[in-house]
Amino acid sequence: MKTPPFLISASLLFWGLQTKLFLIAIPIVLAIESAKIINLRWDFSYLELKRISDICTIIFIGTLVWHIFSARSTHLIYLVIECLPVSFFPLILAQCYSSKNELDIRAMSLILRKQEKERTPLYMNLTYPYFSLCVLSATAANNRTNILYITIFLLSCFALFSIRPKRYSILLWILILIFGGLIGYIGSIGLNRFQLFLEQKSLEWFYDTENTDADPYQNITAIGEIGTLKQSDKILFRVEAKDEDIPLLLREASYTIYKFSRWFSKNDNFINLFPEGNIIKWDLLSFKGSGKKIKISSLIKNGKGILKLPLGVFKIDGLSDLKISKNSLGTVKVEEVPGLIKYDVWFNPEISNDSPPDKNDLFIPEQEKAVVHEIANKLSLNSIPTDEAMKRIRLFFLHNFSYSLNLNSKNENENSPIEFFLKKSKSGHCEYFATATVLLLRAGGIPARYSTGFMVTEFSVWENKFLVRKRDAHAWSIAYVNGVWVNFDTTPPIIESSKENNISQFMSDLWEWVVFSISNLRWQIAANKNKDFLKWLIFPLIIILIFRLYIPKKSKRTVSKEISSSFLPIYTGKDSCFYEIELLLNDLGYKRNNWETFSNWVHRINVPNLQEILKIHYRYRFDPIGISQEEKTKFHLLVKECKLNIFSYYKRL
């Protein structure tokens, strides 16, 4: 098969540009194209091809080992695929300088090598396989742009041009290719969205099987990891609040000590709380002033969880017959929960029920101390008032940093993740901003803690409530200002493209609403807030029972067993005259055996013109078109003549 010129070189240059291995691609291209100038050719023996294949294997294994010990990346498989054109370069080079322009592929397979004595040589042109390999390796770089698809499409057209069908015009061939390219592009978008859909559902399944509540003793962050943080749209709880209180930060836990991308709360035991007066009211703080009120509804798994509460909460209402405990950092645990809990929360941002700061709230790890103090000195945090210091920190992150869930920057100097974030990447998710803010506040002499929870922003017109999803999970810092712990969130505003209201998301939200509504109904019945519900439920049940017992059933329509003869299948050819000859010969003793076909029978008895009659009979019997009127007339004449010949022959006998 003759391949287009420069096909391999074009695909190699494309591979080098995509994978940033252009300096490797150029020498390979020169070595391949030089074969068109150099007239030397070799007739490689089977043994020599085996050695060349072994060299390719060694290069491949060496590349794999190199990436394992140097990159140490979760994208190891992609890095190995990127280097496949280098691994198999000796084979394509051998083909370019081979006298046959093709290679015996038995040398490339261990299975075929074992059968080399039993098999003849299997020659194959490796141009198109190597071209496909280069395109595959180029896509492993994961440069998701339209230019990538267009370039692959053009290279494919170039590769297929020489083997196009010559009986069709070039214009028609081009139109078909363009149509196929458009269908492929639409299909690639669909596959990408289907992949994202599967990842989303896998994430939701994982969160369904795992406890999504925070660990009050430690928080394992994604700081320092490489990749993209996956987020789930699963609804976790619902909030009823006034619009002026939104966005609202609801905290689960706080931590004081940071080490190796983890936050800890040391020696922080939980103390059981007891309701005062009414059994469903819980006072977390002795406060007689006014405050704001919100209502939270949440499904709790395994009978225990952590309450989502705003900072400055002083009273909780609606939690009856539960075991509640609280630690000094403001985390509130509930146990013996039946399933759904609904509770009212009163809070005032100007008060705090967290413990006063101690030495841990000013602790800065040794690994981050240098860079944190460097930035604190640039911002003069130690020589200005607390309010001004917090303002400078907020503006520092707002003007110089960006929010991102993509963590693909490489920490080449092995700096701490926070140092790399503050000095190099300047991009990250909320855990980076919250951790860096806590350490900068501490460097400025301001006690600070790391908090995790959720940000409430999404309002549902359908439910008339604010929905909080798993992707709304958030981390921020709290600072001790004027004797009160206050929220201090420095994560830049997230500019999100409008989310598509696809049918799968709608159905998922609808199902979760149904589950929540059923749980809410059970909760109301258990709380005796809907005690008349069962009385109203019995009426439709009685109506259904009466309908089933006293309404006569409709008789089923009977279908006549008599079937019109017009619907019976018609078998053509049963009136064939050939059967008259068969009956006549049977009477004369020339019977056809049960296992014998008509053709064999006619050949055995050797009656003149009977073979021609049988052919017309077969057409009349089995051909859907049948035979014409003229052929029928001829058929009858041949049968009549054949019968007369048979009679005259046996009459003479």
Q: In the predicted model, is pLDDT for residue 434 greater than 50?
A: yes
Q: Assign 199 a pLDDT band (cuts: 50, 70, 90).
A: low
Q: Would you say the C-alpha torsion 347, 350, 351, 355 has a positive or negative sign?
A: positive
Cα separation, 412 vs 425, whole angstroms: 11
| 581 phi, psi to nearest 5 deg | -65, -40
Cα separation, 369 vs 199, whole angstroms: 38
Do the beta carbons of residue 119 and residue 106 sit within 8 Å? yes
Cα separation, 486 vs 311, whole angstroms: 7
Do the beta carbons of residue 463 and residue 276 sit within 8 Å? no
> Which three-class secondary structure state does DSSP give residue 390?
helix
Report the half-sphere exposure of 352 (CA within 13 A, side-chain side): 18
Q: Which amino acid is at 494?
A: I
Q: Assign 564 a pLDDT band (cuts: 50, 70, 90).
A: very low
Q: Assign 523 a pLDDT band (cuts: 50, 70, 90).
A: low
At 319-329, the pLDDT tens digits run 877 888 889 89
Q: Assign 568 a pLDDT band (cuts: 50, 70, 90).
A: very low
Average pLDDT for the chain: 81
Q: In the predicted model, is pLDDT for residue 209 greater than 60?
A: no
Query: What percent of the chain clears pLDDT 70, i.e. is strictly above it?
Result: 81
Say which residues have a Cβ less than 8 Å from residue 286's Cβ, sequence separation at least 6.
Answer: none
Do the beta carbons of residue 490 and residue 477 sit within 8 Å? yes
The 10 Å Cβ neighbour count of residue 588 is 14
Cα separation, 628 vs 279, whole angstroms: 100
Angle at Cα 336 formed by Cα 334 and Cα 341, nearest 5°? 65
At 464-498, the pLDDT tens digits run 899 998 889 999 999 999 999 999 999 988 754 44
User: What are 51-60's contacts with CB under 8 Å, separation 24+?
Assistant: 52/90, 52/91, 52/94, 52/107, 53/91, 53/107, 53/108, 55/90, 56/87, 56/88, 56/89, 56/90, 56/91, 59/86, 59/87, 59/89, 59/90, 60/84, 60/87, 60/88
Q: Supply the pTM of this predicted model.
A: 0.55
Respond yes or no on whether the N-terminal peptide bond of residue 417 is cis (omega within 30° of 0): no
Do the beta carbons of residue 576 and residue 639 sit within 8 Å? no
> Which three-class secondary structure state does DSSP give residue 489?
coil
Q: In the predicted model, is pLDDT for residue 281 greater than 60?
A: yes
Res 563: pLDDT? 40
